[in-house]
Amino acid sequence: MNKTKKLGIIGGAGLLGTTAAFCAASEGLADEIILYDVKKNLAINHRIDMEHAVCQLSETKLSTGEIDDLKNCDIIVNTAGIPEVAVSSREDFLKGNIVICREISEKIKKWGTAPVILSATNPADVLNYELFRSTGLPPERFVGFSRNDSLRLIWAASKEAGIHASLLEGLVIGEHGELQVPLFGTLKYKASGQRLDLSDKQKESVLKRVQNYFGEIQKLNTGRSSGWTSGIGVCHVLKLILSDGDEICPCSVIPNGEYGLRDLSIGLPVRLGSSGVREIVEIDLSGDERVRLATAAEKIKKQIASCQ
């Protein structure tokens, strides 16, 4: 696996920004990680703390700076958003986060560089597309983070099957939200590639577990989202970008006719590399899965239109 020279984190003092930076620094994925946040003192605090924490784990340099200091980064992770509050859906963050997204886009447009941008702010599908639309950079440079959906499918399936989640792999596509499309046919044992067959009752239980977690978290009203899950997930996606490997990963990306889709960003199976999205992988979907994917696409397009 290669190492990126510079990794930039927008929102580097927030929960997701700090967990992603810590995971990436711990594994030495970059020569330098630059944290940018409007809360400058908090970003500096995290930088000092992380620097001490990873000093015997990697040689990654940690620094803080202004947003323009990220112009020469190879990869930028955008985690900037309005404060976490109890909401019923990720799309409730759209009104506030679209404003921040456009402010970031204006900066990127002036840089004259083309970093790979990993969008991890909700609603990820709409904001990933807005960054693409507003900056005018090539669509393959924009990767929306949605791996958590697949991770939770694997977690829930492992509970039903009575096996450890580390033994399984599986994919979720569609919206990073209520209209996600779990692909039960992709649930397999990693080592053998053997399919994990669940009964209809087990599948219903899996879907219930996956659907209920968000409400359970929101009821706690902590002002905190899934920081560690997302931090680990972002780090995994960064590894795939740096490795140019064959692993298929679900990400929100901008299709050009694949699955009959255009003019949006939506979760699809992809292979990643140093330029961002190397390939959108078309896998066989059932009729119901295709309908559900089209329904998710319609919703995302309406959200995009509402922002114009």
Claim to verify: residue 117 and residue 154 sit in the same structural domain: no
pTM to 2 decimals? 0.92
What SS3 state is found at 19? helix
Claim to verify: residue 163 and residue 276 sit in the same structural domain: yes
Q: Which of 118, 145, 172 is the last residue of a domain?
A: 145
Claim to verify: residue 152 and residue 63 sit in the same structural domain: no
CB 241 within 8 A of CB 108: no
pLDDT in tens, the chain (308 residues): 777 799 999 999 999 999 999 999 999 999 999 999 999 999 999 999 999 999 999 999 999 999 999 999 999 999 998 775 444 455 667 888 999 999 999 999 999 999 999 999 989 999 999 999 999 999 999 999 999 999 999 999 999 999 999 999 999 999 998 999 999 999 999 999 999 999 999 999 999 998 887 777 778 877 777 789 999 999 999 999 999 889 999 999 999 999 999 999 999 999 999 999 999 999 999 999 999 999 999 999 999 998 87
Query: Phi then psi for 143, rounded to 5 degrees?
Result: -125, 115
Claim to verify: residue 136 and residue 156 sit in the same structural domain: no
Alpha helices in 65-199 (DSSP H): 94-111, 124-135, 147-161
Cis status of the peptide bond prior to 123, with omega within 30 of 0:
yes
CATH for 169: 3.90.110.10
CB 37 within 8 A of CB 105: no
What residue type is assigned to position 24 of the chain? Answer: A
Q: Are strands 276-280 and 266-273 parallel, antiparallel or unpaired?
A: antiparallel
Claim to verify: residue 300 and residue 155 sit in the same structural domain: yes
User: How many domains is the chain partitioned into structurally?
Assistant: 2
Specify the pLDDT at position 148.
94
> Residue 44: which domain range?
4-145
Distance of CA 9 to the CA centre of its chain: 13
Claim to verify: residue 110 and residue 221 sit in the same structural domain: no
Claim to verify: residue 30 and residue 83 sit in the same structural domain: yes
Claim to verify: residue 285 and residue 161 sit in the same structural domain: yes
CATH for 39: 3.40.50.720
Claim to verify: residue 196 and residue 267 sit in the same structural domain: yes
* Closest by Cα among 87, 115, 136, 147 to 10: 115
Tokens coding 82: 């309005």
Q: Which of 130, 145, 160 is the last residue of a domain?
A: 145
Handedness of CA 306, 262, 183, 117 (dihedral sign): negative
Claim to verify: residue 156 and residue 287 sit in the same structural domain: yes
Q: Which of 145, 168, 196 is the last residue of a domain?
A: 145
Claim to verify: residue 234 and residue 247 sit in the same structural domain: yes
What phi-psi label fits residue 134: left (phi over 0), alpha (psi between -120 and 50 degrees) or beta? alpha
Specify the pLDDT at position 2.
77
Claim to verify: residue 90 and residue 231 sit in the same structural domain: no
